[in-house]
Amino acid sequence: MITIDNLNKWFGAFEVLKGISAEIQKGSITYLVGPNASGKTTLIKSILGLVKPTRGTIILDGEKLNGNFSYRKKIGYMPQTASFPENLTVEEIINMIKDFRETSTTYDEELIDKFSLHKEFKKRLKNLSGGTRQKVNACIAFLFNPEIMILDEPTAGLDPVSSSILKDKILSEHKNGKTIIFTSHFLSELEELAEQVIFLLEGQIRFNGTKDKLINSTDKHNLERAIASIMIEG
């Protein structure tokens, strides 16, 4: 589904990605993990076409990314912090996004119902709590039934019930054959979601394989401990 080949990215004299190569299979759940400044966000933005790599290629569903952004309609993106006009209501924001993607005629509004977000529809974004903003962010990511989901810190700011609802939705979409990439600092909370793990450190891939392989290779009892051991070793 997504092939990343020898990807480098420089910002001035600073090399953020250092020859990244990876294959993300169709229908998989991949946990992209690493400390701050490891290159996770730059890699995600490169896949989304928001950052142009200095060198290397990305092929998505057989299409080489070269400035044609039509492939983005296949992707649902949930940024860590969504930026929407503060003076719009929740309903106006959702309708605005629908208008931008006017080719869509059916919408996945399951999360809107499960989060009971209709109760917040007439509230302006500036008056919402951080958790409710995150719910809006999640609903929009899933709204257009995309083939690929890229979720950056999806459960950040959510209460335990809402977090469980979102995790169940992610697992449900995985069963439906969706390709899912997610990042999170909450390793213990989202460990159940991970199948494949790509661990980035200082712009390089230090591990790329199954969750079980990583745990076994580090002789630890869970993913959080396994990743911590790699970070300590450097």
Mean pLDDT of the 72-94 span: 91
Residue 225: pLDDT band with limits 50, 70, 90 = confident
Assess if residue 112 is contained within a domain. no
pLDDT of residue 59: 95
Assess if residue 103 is contained within a domain. no
Q: DSSP character for 128?
A: S
CATH code assigned at 177: 3.40.50.300
Tens of pLDDT, residues 102-152: 666 689 999 999 999 999 999 999 999 999 999 999 999 999 999 999 999
pLDDT of residue 103: 67
Assess if residue 166 is contained within a domain. yes
Residue 61 region, left (φ>0) first, then alpha (ψ -120 to 50), else beta? left
pLDDT of residue 176: 94
Assess if residue 94 is contained within a domain. no
pLDDT of residue 60: 93
- Domain extent at residue 24: 2-81+148-233
What global pTM score does this model have? 0.91
Strand ranges of the sheet holding 204-210, from the earlier edge strand across to the other edge:
75-78, 148-152, 179-183, 29-33, 196-201, 204-210
Q: DSSP character for 124?
A: B
Nearest to 196 by CA among 213, 177, 211, 174: 211
Q: By the 8 A CB rule, do 89 and 121 touch?
A: yes
pLDDT of residue 144: 93
Count of structural domains within the chain: 1
pLDDT of residue 104: 65
Assess if residue 120 is contained within a domain. no
Assess if residue 114 is contained within a domain. no
User: 71: how many CB neighbours lie within 10 A of its CB?
Assistant: 19
Mean pLDDT of the 165-175 span: 95
